[in-house]
Amino acid sequence: MKQSSIDIDIVLDAEKVPEQISWSTTDIPADKKKKAKAMILSFWDGEDKTALRIDLWTKDMMVDEMSDFFYQTFMTLSETYGRATRQTELVNDMKKFAKDFYDKSRELQLKDDKMKL
């Protein structure tokens, strides 16, 4: 049986706000750490029936990037849920929500940009 590990490194500022996030796995060379501006890590505790999660983002993560990140995460979650459950109606609802979220976030961003001019 093959075992794989994921290492996540977080650099914090004096106020403990993430400045840098990087990660690597045993499946890629150690000198190939990947940088990220945000991360969402979730675990399901089957015994307690609770989700455990870590959500972090760096200071330089922009609002439009966060919107893109969430949109892509929602879409990925819907695909994962679909493969696990085959509940196509719920998957379609999740994808519709993701698309509506994305459209509204773009609309709000454009509105904010116009107000700054």
Contact between residue 11 and residue 18 where contact means Cβ atoms under 8 Å apart: yes
The residue to which tokens 């454009």 are assigned: 110
Total residues found in the chain within this entry? 117
pLDDT attached to residue 51: 97
Q: What is the pLDDT of residue 116?
A: 67
Blockwise average pLDDT, block size 10, the chain, 117 residues? 92 96 85 91 97 96 95 98 98 98 93 72
Measured distance CA(9)–CA(1) in Å, rounded:
27
With vertex at residue 28, the alpha carbon angle to CA 22 and CA 29, rounded to the nearest 5 degrees, is 85
Please state the pTM of the whole predicted model. Answer: 0.86
